[in-house]
Amino acid sequence: MNTTIAPRINMAADGPAFSRIVLGLWRLASWQMTPQERVSFLEQALELGVTTLDQADIYGDYQSETLLGEALHIAPGLRQRFQFVSKCGIRLVSPQRPAHSIQHYDTSREHIIASAEQSLRAMQIETLDLLLIHRPDPLMDADEIAAAFTQLRESGKVRHFGVSNFTPSQFALLASRVPLVTNQIELSLLQMQALTDGTLDLCQRERIVPMIWSALAGGRLLTQEPTASPQLQRVQQVLQQIAAELSLPVSTVALAWVLQHPSRPVVLTGSGRLAAVREAVQACTQVLSRENWFRLWTASAGRSVD
Amino acid sequence: MNTTIAPRINMAADGPAFSRIVLGLWRLASWQMTPQERVSFLEQALELGVTTLDQADIYGDYQSETLLGEALHIAPGLRQRFQFVSKCGIRLVSPQRPAHSIQHYDTSREHIIASAEQSLRAMQIETLDLLLIHRPDPLMDADEIAAAFTQLRESGKVRHFGVSNFTPSQFALLASRVPLVTNQIELSLLQMQALTDGTLDLCQRERIVPMIWSALAGGRLLTQEPTASPQLQRVQQVLQQIAAELSLPVSTVALAWVLQHPSRPVVLTGSGRLAAVREAVQACTQVLSRENWFRLWTASAGRSVD
Amino acid sequence: MNTTIAPRINMAADGPAFSRIVLGLWRLASWQMTPQERVSFLEQALELGVTTLDQADIYGDYQSETLLGEALHIAPGLRQRFQFVSKCGIRLVSPQRPAHSIQHYDTSREHIIASAEQSLRAMQIETLDLLLIHRPDPLMDADEIAAAFTQLRESGKVRHFGVSNFTPSQFALLASRVPLVTNQIELSLLQMQALTDGTLDLCQRERIVPMIWSALAGGRLLTQEPTASPQLQRVQQVLQQIAAELSLPVSTVALAWVLQHPSRPVVLTGSGRLAAVREAVQACTQVLSRENWFRLWTASAGRSVD
């Protein structure tokens, strides 16, 4: 076992420095850890250089931030060693939010501020390093969001702002009013759309670093039966070939494929197993040959490049 | 019956001020009004604060502007009280234009200027407040259109310019040569594409106000049999529920849904019935809750938000 | 036979001047010409004003540039009379490149420079007037390409740079780092997508001249059986009608339709027959009426304009 450490990268010209591998906590509630086990897991992640934690108000049916807060309460020194990311803008129908009658978006100034403040309370921290609008809201008023962001920054509650799942057009709209340091988007060998629909072009052009969710396609690249789809079968086969050739775990190869994009993305890992985090970190130092990168692209696309 | 008056809004930084409800006259010929009835209808619209009239050279098979002109001829004082919008750039095959052998676009300098001058003559007015290119012409030469617009402005014949049915890319092209104050586009609970294809993003980003046509889906939201499509059935059902809950006409709810977009659109009404205009004006002061707005969005999309 | 000469056009504000008709040499190897026949063909093209030659490293399975170089070797005076365009960025699996194990893209600095230098050697010239990235590479690092372009320009090996088959987003990304003078794209009466997807909007907006490949749809407009598709049947029928009405060759009409776009494109001809080049040159001075242009558009689209 090597001792690779996740490197750090500046997310934008005036953005925060994040670890290339980010610990995604959307399944934290399902990991069934005691508060002390959560502390241990966080400490082990730190030893791998994984210093950035990704949350959202709604994760774990509005419970994930609280679970993290319990860990930070019993190990308060951890707060200084992590960067904290959270999101807002979705209202779920949930026993936790009995007032909600329909799942909807809310990017009003009041909701953004209240949600960020609730995230701080739940996580028992004083400042978010980054707050994202979780989904593009058709009722998004860019001036109103900018006002909310400005108020949160001036009050010291949030340092930087970004978006998630935004099209280039939606990003350009909000960025015309307030600086954004990232767009958190989906990219994997089973979902390559961001390569061609302009999303990653815009990141590179604006010199902002994308955050990638579902880089292992929700784990399907590793664990789903290859018979699920011809695409999955092709991709798994080539992944296994390359992994064997390079003596690397399959997940490391799949994540290296994503990390190699010239926008220099940071990648979320959503696993509660330290071995999985370690395989992700290992991907940060692997550079696939162009031939291997395109063997995987070709397997995913089901055709050669033009 | 309340006495709501349509508010006014500035269409762009240096744009004209229009009423949020605009009287669309594309069916004027079919209303079968005498000139004096047209005058009465216009006067009653004015009392509701509806001060903007939307025309095009081709409406009513090239007859609608003339019918309006007849009314203005017998009630010349109305000219000062309205803002006049017209469009050009389509050539229809019509008995009124025997030289046209095929329906096509023409955004040549000569045609734009001749069409605007003809609109002024037909409507018996001296100045258009706004002239729109009616459809994106694949042969659109942005420099040539800009030259035509400049000539029309300098001669005092047209005060402001815009487009209709333009994509963001087409808008950006023409706006790179000449200031545009609006894009007149389709948006309704049966046609939500402009919410996500970048069209409304661009309006908000450039701080221009869109004009919305077919906000009631050509009346289908109100009068078509719900069996026409599952989408129509879903939308009509939720519209009727919300209308009942708020004690509002269905059309008022449907138009409030459009007016609520953060680009602050103005909305065309195409009806010759004063009651319909009144229901439209009433929508200007209704603010739907986010839950209700997304109940309607969800009915139209046939799915919950992500 | 008239004596039309292809006019020249500046490709961008600081770009090269090219002939409106460009000799595309991607099929040069299949023309089965002796070196002297190649010289004669080039000289006859020059007499028609066709002064721009379009190549790529990969044309003719990496052989086409060498065949051109043989001609220039025995007629060295031709070098001063032509503008030379080549492309790079694709790696084919080929007996000529035994190291390539899979068809892929390579826009690394090393490959761009090595490929351009190889093109110069093969064509036996000292400078390329224009070098294009042949296809959008998902691994394109805009800063790295800009560095390669700058090095090639400063060493005097390439004067200008551009791209081919880039979307507007991809173009904007690379143009944010280094000036581009063209996008070489497909446009014909069987492929009108560039008219509406923003590609030609961007060219016009940025005042760069597109280069058009496959303007005769690979010859299908002229020679394919009309039964191949309803679209082809409609287009061929209208082309033949208009050609008869104007007493012009069908290919001249089809190319005039492309040349008439307000972006003022230059058009590649891929034929080794001088008569075909002459028909292409003849298109430069034909201006179709708007009615005729839209008759062809309508035949291609299978519907009237809106």
Q: Domain of B97: which CATH number? A: 3.20.20.100
- Does the pLDDT of residue B2 top 90, yes or no? no
Supply the DSSP symbol for A124.
T
Q: Which of B188, B204, B292, B295 to mutate to test the interface with A (most CBs of A within 10 A)?
A: B204
Select from B104, B144, B169 the Cβ nearest to the Cβ of C198: B169
User: Is residue B301 included in any domain, yes or no?
Assistant: no
- If one counts every other C-beta atom within 10 angstroms of the C-beta of residue C200, the result is 26
User: Is residue A247 included in any domain, yes or no?
Assistant: no
* Cβ contact B198–A167 (<8 Å): yes
Cβ(B52)–Cβ(B83) below 8 Å: yes
What is the pLDDT at residue B224?
84
User: Is residue C294 included in any domain, yes or no?
Assistant: no
Question: Nearest CA to CA, how far is B169 from chain C (Å)?
Answer: 6
Burial class of residue B21, CB neighbours in 10 A (0-12, 13-18, 19+): buried
Q: Which of C87, C94, C102, C180 to mutate to test the interface with A (most CBs of A within 10 A)?
A: C102
Give the model confidence (pLDDT) of B151-201 as tens digits: 999 999 999 999 999 999 999 999 999 999 999 999 999 999 999 999 999
A286 touches chain C (CB under 8 A): no
Question: Nearest CA to CA, how far is A141 from chain B (Å)?
Answer: 5
* Cβ contact C139–A260 (<8 Å): yes
User: Of B41, B59, B82, B297, which residue is the catalytic one?
Assistant: B59
Chains that touch B (3 or more CB pairs under 8 A): A, C
Reading the block at residue A226, the tokens are 């290859």
B231 touches chain A (CB under 8 A): no
Residues 6+ apart with CB under 8 A from A11: A17, A18, A130, A160, A162, A181, A182, A208, A209, A266
A260 touches chain C (CB under 8 A): yes
What is the pLDDT at residue A2?
56
Q: Which residues of A touch B197 (CB under 8 A)?
A: 169
- Does the pLDDT of residue C304 top 60, yes or no? yes
What is the pLDDT at residue B223?
87
Q: Which residues of B touch C260 (CB under 8 A)?
A: 139
Select from B102, B144, B176 the Cβ nearest to the Cβ of C205: B176
Identify residue B239 by its one-letter amino acid code. L
* Structural domain of C25: 8-220+261-285
User: Is residue B2 included in any domain, yes or no?
Assistant: no
User: What is the torsion angle, in degrees rounded to the nearest 10, for the CA atoms of residue B104, residue B105, residue B110 and residue B111?
Assistant: 80
The total of structural domains in chain B comes to 1
Q: Which residues of A touch B295 (CB under 8 A)?
A: 102
Share of chain C above pLDDT 90, in %: 97
- If one counts every other C-beta atom within 10 angstroms of the C-beta of residue C261, the result is 22
Q: Which residues of A touch C135 (CB under 8 A)?
A: 305-306
* Mean pLDDT along residues B108-124: 98
- If one counts every other C-beta atom within 10 angstroms of the C-beta of residue A155, the result is 12
Report how far residue A134's alpha carbon sits from residue A86's, in angstroms, rounded to the nearest whole number: 9
Distance set, CA C242 to CA C231, C252, C295 (Å) = 17, 11, 9
Supply the DSSP symbol for B209.
P
Cβ(B233)–Cβ(B204) below 8 Å: no
Token pair 């075909």 is found at: C276
- Of B215, B198, B214, B206, give the one whose Cα is nearest residue B256: B215
Question: Nearest CA to CA, how far is C111 from chain B (Å)?
Answer: 33
* Mean pLDDT along residues B98-121: 97
What is the pLDDT at residue A226?
85
* Mean pLDDT along residues B98-113: 97
Confidence bin at C34 (pLDDT 50/70/90): very high
User: Is residue C239 included in any domain, yes or no?
Assistant: no
Q: A250 in helix, strand or coil?
A: helix
C117 touches chain A (CB under 8 A): no
User: Is residue B243 included in any domain, yes or no?
Assistant: no
Question: Nearest CA to CA, how far is B213 from chain C (Å)?
Answer: 15
- Of C23, C93, C26, C110, give the one whose Cα is nearest residue C65: C26
* Cβ contact A138–B297 (<8 Å): yes
Full pLDDT tens readout for chain A, 306 residues: 556 899 999 999 999 999 999 999 999 999 999 999 999 999 999 999 999 999 999 999 999 999 999 999 999 999 999 999 999 999 999 999 999 999 999 999 999 999 999 999 999 999 999 999 999 999 999 999 999 999 999 999 999 999 999 999 999 999 999 999 999 999 999 999 999 999 999 999 999 999 999 999 999 999 888 888 999 999 999 999 999 999 999 999 999 999 999 999 999 999 999 999 999 999 999 999 999 999 999 999 999 999
- Does the pLDDT of residue C2 top 60, yes or no? no
Share of chain C above pLDDT 70, in %: 99
Closest residue on chain A to B197 (Cα): A169
A106 touches chain B (CB under 8 A): yes
**Ramachandran class of A223: left when φ > 0, alpha when ψ lies in -120 to 50, beta otherwise:** alpha
Report how far residue A216's alpha carbon sits from residue A119's, in angstroms, rounded to the nearest whole number: 27
Pairing of strands A90-91, A104-105: antiparallel
- CA C102 remoteness from chain centre: 26
Supply the DSSP symbol for C156.
T
* Mean pLDDT along residues B101-106: 97
Q: C97 in helix, strand or coil?
A: strand
Select from C102, C144, C173 the Cβ nearest to the Cβ of A298: C102
* Cβ contact A105–B305 (<8 Å): yes
Tell me how many residue pairs between chain A and chain B have CB atoms under 8 A apart. Answer: 58
Query: Is the interface score ipTM higher than 0.95?
Result: yes
Q: Which residues of B touch C297 (CB under 8 A)?
A: 138
Q: Which of A204, A206, A234, A263 to mutate to test the interface with C (most CBs of C within 10 A)?
A: A204
- Does the pLDDT of residue B4 top 80, yes or no? yes
Burial class of residue A303, CB neighbours in 10 A (0-12, 13-18, 19+): exposed
Select from C138, C167, C170 the Cβ nearest to the Cβ of A297: C138
Cβ(B28)–Cβ(B59) below 8 Å: yes
Question: Nearest CA to CA, how far is B181 from chain A (Å)?
Answer: 17
User: Of A18, A41, A59, A82, which residue is the catalytic one?
Assistant: A59
Select from B102, B165, B167 the Cβ nearest to the Cβ of C291: B102
What is the pLDDT at residue C220?
94
Question: Nearest CA to CA, how far is A147 from chain C (Å)?
Answer: 29
Strand partners, A191: A188
Report how far residue C40's alpha carbon sits from residue C277's, in angstroms, rounded to the nearest whole number: 14
Cβ(C106)–Cβ(C91) below 8 Å: yes
Q: Would you call B105 a catalytic residue per the annotation?
A: no
* Sequence-ordered strand ranges (E) for chain B: 8-10, 17-19, 21-24, 52-54, 83-88, 90-91, 104-105, 128-133, 158-164, 183-186, 211-213, 266-269
* Mean pLDDT along residues C195-205: 98
- If one counts every other C-beta atom within 10 angstroms of the C-beta of residue C249, the result is 19
* Mean pLDDT along residues B266-295: 97
Question: Nearest CA to CA, how far is A240 from chain C (Å)?
Answer: 17
Across chain A, mean pLDDT equals 97
- Does the pLDDT of residue C239 top 90, yes or no? yes
* Cβ contact B306–A142 (<8 Å): no
Report how far residue C301's alpha carbon sits from residue C231's, in angstroms, rounded to the nearest whole number: 8
* Cβ contact A142–B262 (<8 Å): yes
Q: Which residues of B touch A169 (CB under 8 A)?
A: 168, 197-198, 201-202
- Of B265, B260, B252, B267, give the one whose Cα is nearest residue B294: B260
The H or E element that residue B279 is part of is: helix B274-283
Give the model confidence (pLDDT) of B182-194 as tens digits: 999 999 999 999 9
Identify residue B255 by its one-letter amino acid code. L
User: Is residue B292 included in any domain, yes or no?
Assistant: no
Select from A106, A142, A173 the Cβ nearest to the Cβ of B290: A106
- Does the pLDDT of residue B11 top 60, yes or no? yes
Phi–psi pair at C290, nearest 5 degrees? -60, -35
Token pair 């004009």 is found at: B211
Confidence bin at B226 (pLDDT 50/70/90): confident
Q: Which residues of B touch C294 (CB under 8 A)?
A: 102-105
Closest residue on chain B to C262 (Cα): B141
Report how far residue C257's alpha carbon sits from residue C239's, in angstroms, rounded to the nearest whole number: 10
* Sequence-ordered strand ranges (E) for B103-167: 104-105, 128-133, 158-164
User: Is residue C241 included in any domain, yes or no?
Assistant: no
Identify residue B258 by its one-letter amino acid code. V
Give the model confidence (pLDDT) of B13-59 as tens digits: 999 999 999 999 999 999 999 999 999 999 999 999 999 999 999 99
